[in-house]
Structure formats: structure tokens, C-alpha cells
Amino acid sequence: MSSIVTLSEFIMERQADFPYASGDLSRLLADIGIASKIVNHKVNKAGLQDILGAMESTNVQGETQMKLDVFADNALLNAVRWGGQVCGAASEENEKYFTFESEICKKSKYVILFDPLDGSSNIDVNVSIGTIFSVFRRKSSVGDLANVNDFLQKGSEQVAAGYVIYGSSTMLVYTTGHGVNGFTLEPSIGEFCLSHENMRIPEDGTIYSINEGNLMSCSPGVQAYVNWCKQTDKKTQRPYSARYIGSLVADFHRNLIKGGIYMYPGTVKSQEGKLRLQYESNPLAFIVEQAGGKASDGKGRIMDIQPSSLHQRAPLFIGSKNMVELVERLIAEENN
């Protein structure tokens, strides 16, 4: 039997690859692993504990928050605040970012941004949901309080990013810019164990994921691409399969493994689409690029966008390299 490598063992092994690393990032990743186990526990029990249903409060995007969103948000915030490896945190569920005032936090080098429970409208119907996170080195001086510039950095500045999918099994997938690795939670021992080493996304795929109900209000380039996906062509194995769960982490995870493209384009009503650049698109973009894929807003690289506000949205085309390049090309052609 091959030996099992747990997330903590793997993180520690990898830290040894960087001789000057202080271990702070490793500890932060371990804290996130622990928080996600707490969230996982709650997600699995959701049906039993009457925790389902909308709370009174709505989040900054005006959407109804589910109770589990609040729980996951608190679990992550507490884990990173008490872990002491970040000087601040921003979450999709909160309008303002948090600065952590303890001496240990003020002396830390990093900030974290996260979407604590993405796809939460799916909780009620037992469909996979996820947590997404993104870590940056702070811009402000070590010892000071975090400020807004720490959170408004381009995705290309990320030092780590990852997601947890609460699905038929629970998995944590992350990158620190040296490839992508996936860990499956083994419930009997309560540990994430290395299950998907050095994940690579196929350059081409046969799956396209988009909320096609919106297609008529998408740009002609996006419509042209979706129509192309549906045409018959033996050589490119078309028509492709349409697969849309409506839960970004789950749609992304499937396409990462099988090859495919996920799209949330701008629409007439919402030019910038729906997804948030810093909480959703950037972290997944970092992962997909590290796995050999691409992430674009339809015109250029997601991770090159300079954010100007904390909850900014951007169109997203993410997945297999050749698929993303083709949709970019069709968008450019239609625009000319």
C-alpha cells in the first residue's frame, strides 16, 4: 500500500523547498484547511440541524444570505484572525475589509480574500458548494494596520490561492505558484490526503458551462462561440456537452479535471457579469494557469486587471487553454 500524505505533511515538505521561507504561508494554509473542515462538518449536517433557510440579513450585493454563508464566513474569519498569519481579510459577504489589530497580526506579511460559501443558493437542494480563497503579500508596511491597497492588487500578485469543494467527497485544491495539488478529505481520520498531485487541465475539452438562459443578452461573440460548441464536427468532437451546475467551484473543478470551459459573460443588464474579480475569478485564474489553462475576461488575462474596488465584478471565461483562446478570438472578431 502506498503511504498517505496529509495536507499538513505536504505543506511542510513543500516549505523545505524554499530555504528562506518563514513558514507563515504554510501556517496560513494549514489554518484554512482547519476552517474548511469545520465548514464541511456544518455543510454535511445542514439538513439535520435545521440550519437551512435564509437569515434576515442580505449581503452587500443585495442577495439573501443563507445561514451557512454566515457560519462559513465566521469560521474563516476566526481561523485567520486567531491564526495570526494575516494582517487583514476581505470577504464577499462583508462590505468592508477587516483589519486585525493584535500585535502578531500587524507583524504578519499577508492578507487574505475569500468567498466563504460560493453557490450558496444550492444549499437547499443538496448540490455541491465551495469555499474560494486568495492570498497576497501586503503592500502596507509590516507593523502597520492593513489598508485598502493591500486588497486591491492584481491577481498576478497572488502568492497562494485555492478552493474547497463540498461535493460527493470534500476536496481542497491549492497552488502557491508551483503547480496545483488536490487533497481529498478522508472522513475516518478527519484529514485531507493528497489525492490529485500536480493537476493539469487538458488543453482542449468537450464541455462548455454557461447559464444559457442568458445567451440572448450576451455579446454576439459569446453567442457565436456557444453556437460553435453545438455544431457537429468529428475532428473536434463536437457537439460539445453542456454542463452547468450553477455552482462555480463545482463547474470549475469538473472542467479542470476533464477539460472544458466555464463562462460567465457580461449581459445587457450587467455588463460586467456576476462574478467577483477578487473573491472568485482571480483565485481560480491562478489555479487554472498553474494547471496549464487560461482565464480571461473576454479581452485579456483576468490576473492583469487592476481592481479599483473591493467587490468589483468582471466577465469570466476560464478553463482549457484552446477553448478560452477561441472564445477570445470570436469576441474580438465580432467587435471589429
* Residues at the interface with Mg ion (CB under 5 A): 115, 118
Task: Give yes or no for residue 65 binding ligand AHM (CB under 6 A).
Answer: no
Query: What span, in angstroms and rounded, lies between the C-alpha atoms of 94 and 311?
Result: 9
Query: What span, in angstroms and rounded, lies between the C-alpha atoms of 319 and 261?
Result: 4
What is the three-class DSSP state of 181?
A: strand
Residue 106 or 274 having the CB closest to ligand AHM: 274
43 burial (CB, 10 Å; 0-12 / 13-18 / 19+) is buried
Task: Give yes or no for residue 320 binding ligand AHM (CB under 6 A).
Answer: no
Q: How far is the CB of 9 from ligand AHM (least distance, A)?
A: 31
Q: How far is the CB of 226 from ligand AHM (least distance, A)?
A: 14
For residue 141, report the phi and psi dihedrals to the nearest 5 degrees: -75, 140
Cell numbers describing residue 56: 434576515
End-to-end Cα spacing for the chain: 59
Q: How far is the CB of 63 from ligand AHM (least distance, A)?
A: 5
Select from 325, 324, 330, 298 the least CA-distant residue to 221: 330
Cβ pair 313, 276 in contact under 8 A: yes
Which of ligand AHM, Mg ion, none lies near 191, with the C-beta cut-off 5 to 8 A by kind? none
Task: Give yes or no for residue 291 binding ligand AHM (CB under 6 A).
Answer: no
Residue 119 or 283 having the CB closest to ligand AHM: 119
13 C-beta neighbours (distance < 10 Å), count: 12
For residue 144, report the phi and psi dihedrals to the nearest 5 degrees: -85, 175
Which of residues 211, 236, 241, 270 is near ligand AHM by CB under 6 A?
211
- Provide the strand spans (E) within 83-123: 86-91, 98-99, 110-118
Contacts with ligand AHM, 166-205, as mask; x by CB under 6 A = ----------------------------------------
Task: Give yes or no for residue 289 binding ligand AHM (CB under 6 A).
Answer: no
- The residue written with cell numbers 490576473 in the block is 303
Q: Which are the contacts of 240, defined by CB distance < 8 A and separation ≥ 6?
A: 205, 206, 207, 208, 229, 230, 260
Q: How far is the CB of 115 from Mg ion (least distance, A)?
A: 4
Which of ligand AHM, Mg ion, none lies near 247, with the C-beta cut-off 5 to 8 A by kind? ligand AHM
Which of Mg ion, ligand AHM, none lies near 328, with the C-beta cut-off 5 to 8 A by kind? none
Q: How far is the CB of 248 from ligand AHM (least distance, A)?
A: 3
Q: How many CA atoms lie within 13 A of 35 on its CB side?
A: 28
Residue 31 or 118 having the CB closest to ligand AHM: 118
Query: What span, in angstroms and rounded, lies between the C-alpha atoms of 51 and 68?
Result: 7
Q: How far is the CB of 22 from ligand AHM (least distance, A)?
A: 33
Query: What span, in angstroms and rounded, lies between the C-alpha atoms of 333 and 336?
Result: 5
Task: Give yes or no for residue 63 binding ligand AHM (CB under 6 A).
Answer: yes
Q: Which amino acid is at 275?
A: L
Which of ligand AHM, Mg ion, none lies near 206, with the C-beta cut-off 5 to 8 A by kind? none
Residue 110 or 114 having the CB closest to ligand AHM: 114
Contacts with ligand AHM, 245-264, as mask; x by CB under 6 A = -xxx--x-------------
Q: How far is the CB of 66 from ligand AHM (least distance, A)?
A: 9
Task: Give yes or no for residue 73 binding ligand AHM (CB under 6 A).
Answer: no
Which of Mg ion, ligand AHM, none lies near 274, with the C-beta cut-off 5 to 8 A by kind? ligand AHM
Query: What span, in angstroms and rounded, lies between the C-alpha atoms of 238 and 104?
Result: 55
Q: How far is the CB of 136 from ligand AHM (least distance, A)?
A: 20
